[in-house]
Amino acid sequence: MNRNNNLITFIFSSVLFIFFILQSKVSFDILLSPMSAVFGTFAGAGLGVNWLFLSLAIMFFCISFALFIMYAYDNPGDSFILIGSAMISVIIIVVHSFSMPAIIFSIGLFTAYFYMFSSVKSGKKKVKSQTIFNTSLSVSSMALTIVNLSIALAVLLVLINNPSYADDEMSSMSSSMFGMDISDIDSLQQQIILQQKEASYAQIEAIETSVLYGIYDETSGLTASEKQKCFTAINSSMEKIDRNAKASIDFQLAQASSNPQFSTIESTLNLLNKFKIYYPYITFLTVFMILGMIKLFLRYVIALVARILWVPPVVPSSRPSSQQVPSSSQQVPESQQVPSLSQQVPESQRISM
């Protein structure tokens, strides 16, 4: 492929990458809440991604990288393709309405292009026999790392400036671990104790009511004044029993808070609370490592595409053509030609036959 075709095809492939990545409905929020996305996938909710368009987007991304490397490989002294790569970065920013993640990704993408151009140019000077496959493999590996770093950095900055993602992720994790949505995870133990206390109090009051009604049925033969005296004495005793029973429940619940079960919950909640604080940095490393594993596959795809599409330049032959070879009469002037045998021997010395 010649110089112009490589440049035009590179821009066309990059535009197709942008088009298909938009059609795939891949949301940047997936990277901001990776654990919720994983839990939703296992729960059958899905990610809402069109995998066909996503695969096409990845394919054209690899093609655009391969074409850029081919252009730099065939034209190491021509930096005009950097203008095309800058144009692609501007298109990405405009399509995403000048959002911060789009700007950071575009800067990282252009930096990766500039690195590839410089590396291919310097590599051809050092190693004359370097193949297009090996060049693409080594150069694209570092370029993809730069792109991955820009995506992870965009995730980090968004999460630092917007803590609501950490809150949503904590709610999702607490629901998965404890079966409830916790607005304030530090008060979970107190909520559990309060629920147990209210349930125990309600049970004691139900027993007291049952006892009072049982006694009332047994006083049908008494007069009104006798019933009043009886209930006054019973209520006084019942109130004392009620106070003692509830105090005993409070003491038992206070002792239960030191139970290993509660201490495990408390330590787990403390761990989740720390996770909430460091969530942006943990997500940054998680996204970067996941993209790093994908890079190990994509760099071979880019190198293979470059090897398939690359056509070695035609080297002109140094062998002269038949028209350039002078004839025997043109090689030696007539005055310098060697005379024939009859001309070399005088006529008087010739032997007659």
How many residues comprise the chain? 353
Q: Which among 194-203, 268-277, 293-302 has the top mean pLDDT?
A: 293-302
Whether 69 and 113 have beta carbons less than 8 Å apart is answered as: no
In a domain, residue 304? The reply is yes
Work out the average pLDDT over 58-80: 90
In a domain, residue 147? The reply is yes
66 and 158 assigned to the same domain: yes
Per residue in 43-58, pLDDT (tens digit) is 555 677 888 999 999 9
The Cα 318–Cα 255 span in angstroms is 98
pLDDT at 52: 93
Of 164 and 267, the structure prediction assigns the larger pLDDT to 164
In a domain, residue 39? The reply is yes
In a domain, residue 347? The reply is no
The Cα 263–Cα 311 span in angstroms is 68
What percent of the chain is predicted at pLDDT more than 90? 34
Per residue in 312-324, pLDDT (tens digit) is 765 555 454 444 4
In a domain, residue 317? The reply is no
Q: For the ranges 8-17, 23-32, 69-78, 119-128, which has the lowest average pLDDT?
A: 119-128
124 and 48 assigned to the same domain: yes
Q: What residue numbers bound the domain in which 157 lies? A: 3-162+280-309
Final residue of a structural domain among 220, 249, 274: 274
Domain tally, the chain? 2
In a domain, residue 135? The reply is yes
104 and 235 assigned to the same domain: no
Of 337 and 76, the structure prediction assigns the larger pLDDT to 76
154 and 237 assigned to the same domain: no
155 and 293 assigned to the same domain: yes
58 and 96 assigned to the same domain: yes
Work out the average pLDDT over 268-294: 86
Running DSSP on this structure, what letter comes out for residue 312?
Answer: P
Final residue of a structural domain among 231, 254, 274: 274
59 and 143 assigned to the same domain: yes
221 and 287 assigned to the same domain: no
Whether residue 346 is predicted with pLDDT greater than 50 in this model: the reply is yes
Work out the average pLDDT over 115-126: 82
Instruction: Give the model's confidence band at 229: pLDDT under 50 very low, under 70 low, under 90 confident, else very high.
Output: confident
pLDDT at 215: 67
pLDDT at 353: 39
Work out the average pLDDT over 167-188: 64
pLDDT at 73: 87
268 and 293 assigned to the same domain: no
142 and 22 assigned to the same domain: yes
Quote helix, strand, coil % in the chain, to nearest 5: 80, 0, 20
pLDDT at 329: 45
8 and 144 assigned to the same domain: yes
In a domain, residue 323? The reply is no
pLDDT at 57: 95
Whether residue 200 is predicted with pLDDT greater than 90 in this model: the reply is no
Running DSSP on this structure, what letter comes out for residue 109?
Answer: H
The Cα 252–Cα 311 span in angstroms is 83
pLDDT at 351: 43
Chain mean pLDDT for the chain: 77
245 and 284 assigned to the same domain: no
Q: For the ranges 17-31, 99-113, 263-277, 289-303, which has the lowest average pLDDT?
A: 263-277
Instruction: Give the model's confidence band at 39: pLDDT under 50 very low, under 70 low, under 90 confident, else very high.
Output: low
The Cα 17–Cα 24 span in angstroms is 11
Our measurement of the distance from residue 229's CA atom to the centroid of its chain's CA atoms, rounded to an integer in Å, reads 79
Instruction: Give the model's confidence band at 341: pLDDT under 50 very low, under 70 low, under 90 confident, else very high.
Output: very low
What percent of the chain is predicted at pLDDT more than 70? 68
In a domain, residue 194? The reply is yes
